[in-house]
A and B are shown apart, each in its own frame.
Chain A
């Protein structure tokens, strides 16, 4: 009978604990690891960084020197008017990198690998969004810096500059809910890019971002006044070169809140079903 007692029940699972939940400290660490993962790519793929930088730079150059004289009479005047709008346009386009990155993970199976790990459910999303926010700040700094080289002047001061950055980041974060939804739903990263262009292009061009809507035909001017991109552009312009800030900033924030209210529940529902 002694043989029986020595033959104890098989050893408990060695190695990792099998706790039920992920604690806040572990969640944070996992989020930062996944943010690191998105950012370290830049190190190996400098092209991505260029991609990130060259498009806004090209836009600034093209708009300033091609259209500037025709629109404002002088390239310098136009740059002063258009750079805030270009910042907005770039930030809005950039929110879709979240969708593209997420969708790439899903189609490549990386998302499944992450979901099969004992990590916080939200870490793959929050890690990516943190990394993309970092990239947003980088693109903002780059555009402002480049614009200043060409002659753009911030007439309001540091507070205005920081305010503009903060407003753009807030709006971009609100929009990343939509981006997450698109990323989860789209069938391929190429589709995401297509959606980006077919929605973002007309949206940013039919606003006060790049030209004053005064010259638009009546119906388009009516739309431009409604277009959230107009309000955001006006607010950023006000924050950087002076003008009305309060009204347009408030409307922009309301739009951002609206985005969260509409898209966050949808995105969370799809994410839950996928995850």
Chain B
């Protein structure tokens, strides 16, 4: 555009030169932006597909994780979370699509990817016959550390994970939580820049779970990029910067926890009649007024509410019918409800209840 200008007076030429200079600066700025963006994604996946026979474990998954952020991948069992992790960690070739980790292609440049990542799977992958120290020394030696370096790195990590005392015992004598910690320590021996945590707290007691959360937060503080899969909505809520929701091998929603909570509409109305027999009546009333069938479970009617004005209407109607509510509340929807709204089924019924029942 600038070049089209006709040459005119000296003034004009000067102006033109300046403009050109500016546009050079501008394009430099633009290319910086571009670069920053490319470097900015530690993990990038596009259209990942993986079949197992006739079932599609991954059905076109796209996701990005900016450097230093934690992406929570949320979904029920069999949603494809683990398959996605296995593809990104170079353990599985995708049938279609592409993915990069740290800018390296997970299929063509798998070796480079492996030198950047740490992986902690669903099952604590430690050699049970070896001691804690030996497990970590083995990994250190495999990564090319000298014997002395491997030993000191092992000592460092054992201390960090409060395993120093147990370090000399065979891993098979460890408790579940200790094994997970050792497994996580093993994935950190090589100081990975990108860490995959595949359901790291599944099966752990609440105490071990919160311990592990603290460890993950510590890693985040070190600037490590983390992709964490979980069935626990609370876990994603607690740890993740961004969340993607998987169902049937697809990403069905993504955003921050708050954004996701906002997508379902808004708020959740819960009504519990004092007389349990009138639950159906309450459900009918709520359904009529909000125009959608509510859910009834646990002696309670639950419904997503988009317009808070319906609440007084419902209260009045129930009053007319002589129904006494022992509990009536309006609150922000939980991730659990977001999941329900998105998929039409609950993420997992057990974990939510477990959390309440097991004393911390």
CB within 8 Å of B: which residues of A?
A: 1, 4, 7, 9-10, 13, 15-22, 26, 29-30, 33-34, 36-37, 40-41, 44-45, 48, 108-110, 112-119, 123
Contact assessment for B25 and A1 in the assembled complex, using a CB-CB cutoff below 8 Å: yes
Q: Which of B114, B116, B142 contacts A13 (CB 8 A)?
A: B116
Q: Which of A13, A21, A48, A115 contacts B91 (CB 8 A)?
A: A115
Contact assessment for B114 and A118 in the assembled complex, using a CB-CB cutoff below 8 Å: yes
Contact assessment for B35 and A18 in the assembled complex, using a CB-CB cutoff below 8 Å: no
Q: Name 16 A/B residue pairs within 8 A (Cβ), A-sorted.
A: A4-B29, A7-B32, A13-B116, A13-B193, A16-B144, A18-B104, A37-B134, A41-B129, A44-B170, A110-B125, A110-B126, A112-B86, A113-B125, A117-B139, A118-B112, A119-B114
Q: Are A37 and B138 also in contact (CB < 8 A) when A13-B102, A113-B186 are?
A: yes
Contacts of B109 in A (CB 8 A): 20
Contact assessment for B138 and A116 in the assembled complex, using a CB-CB cutoff below 8 Å: no
Nearest-Cβ distance from residue B289 to partner chain A, whole angstroms: 52
Q: Mark B23-61, 1 if CB is under 8 A from A, else 0.
A: 001001100100110010000000000000000000000
Task: Give B128's nearest chain A residue, CB to CB.
Answer: A108
Q: Are A10 and B124 also in contact (CB < 8 A) when A15-B190, A15-B191, A112-B91 are?
A: no
Given contacts A18-B111, A113-B187, A118-B190, 20 further A-B contacts (CB under 8 A): A4-B29, A16-B116, A16-B143, A16-B144, A16-B190, A16-B191, A17-B115, A29-B141, A33-B142, A34-B142, A37-B134, A110-B127, A114-B142, A116-B89, A116-B90, A116-B91, A116-B118, A116-B119, A117-B190, A118-B143
Which 7 pairs show the lowest CB-CB distances between chains A and B? A109-B125, A41-B129, A118-B115, A118-B114, A18-B112, A113-B125, A116-B119
Q: Are A40 and B134 also in contact (CB < 8 A) when A10-B39, A16-B143, A115-B91 are?
A: yes
Determine the distance from Cα of A119 to Cα of B90 in the docked complex, in whole angstroms.
Answer: 13
Q: Are A109 and B121 also in contact (CB < 8 A) when A13-B193, A44-B170, A119-B142 are?
A: yes
Determine the distance from Cα of A17 to Cα of B144 in the docked complex, in whole angstroms.
Answer: 11
Q: Which of B32, B104, B117, B191 contacts A116 (CB 8 A)?
A: B117
Determine the distance from Cα of A236 to Cα of B116 in the docked complex, in whole angstroms.
Answer: 51
Q: Taking the complex as formed, is B257 at the interface, i.e. its CB lies under 8 A from any CB of chain A?
A: no
Contact assessment for B39 and A33 in the assembled complex, using a CB-CB cutoff below 8 Å: no
Task: Give B122's nearest chain A residue, CB to CB.
Answer: A109
Determine the distance from Cα of A113 to Cα of B102 in the docked complex, in whole angstroms.
Answer: 19
Q: Taking the complex as formed, is B315 at the interface, i.e. its CB lies under 8 A from any CB of chain A?
A: no
Contacts of A117 in B (CB 8 A): 114, 139, 142-143, 190
User: Which chain B residues (124-158) contact chain A, with CB distance < 8 Å?
Assistant: 124-131, 134, 138-139, 141-144
Nearest-Cβ distance from residue B181 to partner chain A, whole angstroms: 15
Determine the distance from Cα of A78 to Cα of B142 in the docked complex, in whole angstroms.
Answer: 49
Task: Give A109's nearest chain B residue, CB to CB.
Answer: B125
Q: Taking the complex as formed, is B174 at the interface, i.e. its CB lies under 8 A from any CB of chain A?
A: no
Nearest-Cβ distance from residue A231 to partner chain B, whole angstroms: 36
Contacts of B115 in A (CB 8 A): 16-18, 118
Contacts of B161 in A (CB 8 A): none
Task: Give A11's nearest chain B residue, CB to CB.
Answer: B39
Contact assessment for B114 and A40 in the assembled complex, using a CB-CB cutoff below 8 Å: no
Contact assessment for B191 and A9 in the assembled complex, using a CB-CB cutoff below 8 Å: no
